[in-house]
Amino acid sequence: MTDRTILQKYVARNGDAAAGVVPQADTEAADDLGAFGWLRGIRDRAVSLELRKRDGNILAVSYGYIEKAEFDPSEGITLSVSGQKLRIKGRNLNAEARLTVRLFEGIARHRVPWVREADHAEDVEADSAATVIETITW
């Protein structure tokens, strides 16, 4: 890595991303597990949770404002945020997506930076043990 490349890594702006200069931390901070992201570092904590709908709508909720998180296998995950109920429905929402990685437990521990609704094709093609988010409502 040249001195110039190292310098660009630390002074990159949004316009620089189009030129191929992307800060290392932005590209490697979280694993993409399909239905949700997972922060890698054992001490990493997400500041907010992005709820991404398949139609392109996104709601970001600060973890500091989540008053209660509840998991009911028949109802999904319900988050109480400033008196509002946010619901995440799907399959295997607290099953292991990977060894010791579970969606609900990750939300409870602020390890999940985003969750994403699956489109119909992903829902149908997904393995029966895979975590699939069918709907997110707010």
A 10 A CB-CB count for 111 gives 22
pTM of the entire predicted model: 0.75
More confident site: 97 or 136? 136
Beta strands in the chain (DSSP E): 30-32, 37-39, 48-52, 58-62, 66-72, 76-81, 84-91, 96-98, 101-102, 114-116, 132-137
Domain membership flag for residue 80? yes
Residue 61 has pLDDT above 90, yes or no: yes
Residue 59 has pLDDT above 90, yes or no: yes
Domain membership flag for residue 42? yes
| Alpha carbons 30 and 45: distance in angstroms, whole number | 11
Structural domain count, the chain: 1
Domain membership flag for residue 18? no
Domain region containing 86: 29-137
pLDDT band at 22 (very low <50, low <70, confident <90, very high): very low
pLDDT band at 8 (very low <50, low <70, confident <90, very high): low
Which residue type, as a one-letter code, is found at position 137? T
